């Protein structure tokens, strides 16, 4: 493991570069944190990394999902290409990293009964509110963490969300969610941080996405719900809308997806929907016999 001090001037320069690209603060923070992770793994630090070092890093954790491994490969290529372009390194050890085999993700929505078990498992009020925002409003973890009273149109019952790629969407608050959030602060973060985190000092901002995930994961476990990530609550809301006959383009807008194809990755088609599908096929008459005459 690396015992060197990471060259902060390089990361500061890279942060400035990404800011000039108009990347979101969340993307910049995650990329910096990832490179620090790589730096700790590689003996001598990221500046001395070889292609073999990076391959070993990509294979270092068997628990990483297919998506995570593909994301890490892309992040390494982006960072080391930038180092080479800026002549900080003369080579690019990430140029020919192994391609990550694509595996189609199977939708894994949490069953409605299991969501009920999670909210009834002794979860505190703010955790129940987070579950509701995940399920009803289809908010991502980092979107939940930074909800502010000023984001809400209290008259029209909508929440303005700044999602991935700085895309703004307006999500309706249905009657069930309204009962959960109607008494939330109208001027202030809904989930303020009481302890210092890596972005805000104590009492000066909001909690972070990892805190949301941790609280929701705890609620699922207490409710006896296993085999799900907190993010699967979004898949539940998406699946419920599609099963109710909501047009996929409307669900796409509610979820903040760039394409309907992404929305479909979250939707689990059940057996009853399949039955309805095949039952809708116009029947044809199939004779019991061929009608052919036998040869003499």
pLDDT 10s digits, 147-191: 999 999 999 999 999 877 778 889 999 999 999 999 999 999 999
Residue 133 has pLDDT above 50, yes or no: yes
CATH architecture of 112-277: Orthogonal Bundle (1.10)
15: CB partners within 8 A, 6+ apart = 28, 32
pLDDT tens for residues 249-262?
Answer: 898 988 888 888 88
Question: pLDDT per residue over 207-254, tens digit each?
Answer: 999 999 999 999 999 999 999 989 999 999 999 998 888 888 898 988
Mean pLDDT of 86-90: 92
Percent over 70 (pLDDT), the chain: 97
Q: pLDDT band at 273, cuts 50/70/90?
A: confident
The predicted pLDDT at position 136 comes to 93
Longest dimension (CA), the chain: 97
Residue 149 burial (CB count, 10 A): 14
What pLDDT is attached to residue 296?
60
Q: What residue ranges do the domains of the chain occupy?
A: 8-85, 112-277
Average pLDDT, the chain: 88
For the ranges 1-10, 39-48, 111-120, 121-130, the lowest mean pLDDT is seen at 1-10
For residues 164 and 27, give the distance between their C-alpha atoms in angstroms, rounded to a whole number: 9
Higher pLDDT, 86 or 106: 86
């Amino acid at each position: 493991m690396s015992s060197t001090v990471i060259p902060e001037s390089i990361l500061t320069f890279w942060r400035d570069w990404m800011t000039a690209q108009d990347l979101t603060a969340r993307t910049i923070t995650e990329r910096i944190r990832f490179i620090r992770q790589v730096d700790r793994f590689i003996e001598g630090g990221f500046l001395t990394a070889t292609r073999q070092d990076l391959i070993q890093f990509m294979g270092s954790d068997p628990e990483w999902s297919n998506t995570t491994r593909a994301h890490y490969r892309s992040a390494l290529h982006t960072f080391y290409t930038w180092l080479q372009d800026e002549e900080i390194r003369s080579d690019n050890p990430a140029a020919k990293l192994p391609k990550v085999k694509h595996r189609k993700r199977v939708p894994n929505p949490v069953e409605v009964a299991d969501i009920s078990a999670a909210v009834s498992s002794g979860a505190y009020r703010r955790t129940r509110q987070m579950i509701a925002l995940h399920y009803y409003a289809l908010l991502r973890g980092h979107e939940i963490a930074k909800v502010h009273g000023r984001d809400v149109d209290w008259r029209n019952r909508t929440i303005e969300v700044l999602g991935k790629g700085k895309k703004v969407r307006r999500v309706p608050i249905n009657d069930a969610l309204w009962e959960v959030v109607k008494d939330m602060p109208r001027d202030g973060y809904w989930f303020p941080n009481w302890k210092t985190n890596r972005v805000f000092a104590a009492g000066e901002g909001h909690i972070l996405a990892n805190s949301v995930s941790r609280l929701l994961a705890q609620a699922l476990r207490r409710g006896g719900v296993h085999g799900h990530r907190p993010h699967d609550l979004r898949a539940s809301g998406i699946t419920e809308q599609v099963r109710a006959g909501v047009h996929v383009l409307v669900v796409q807008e509610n979820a903040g997806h760039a394409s309907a194809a992404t929305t479909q990755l979250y939707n689990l088609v059940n057996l009853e929907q399949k039955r309805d599908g095949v039952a809708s096929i116009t029947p044809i008459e199939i004779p019991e016999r061929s009608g052919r005459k036998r040869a003499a």
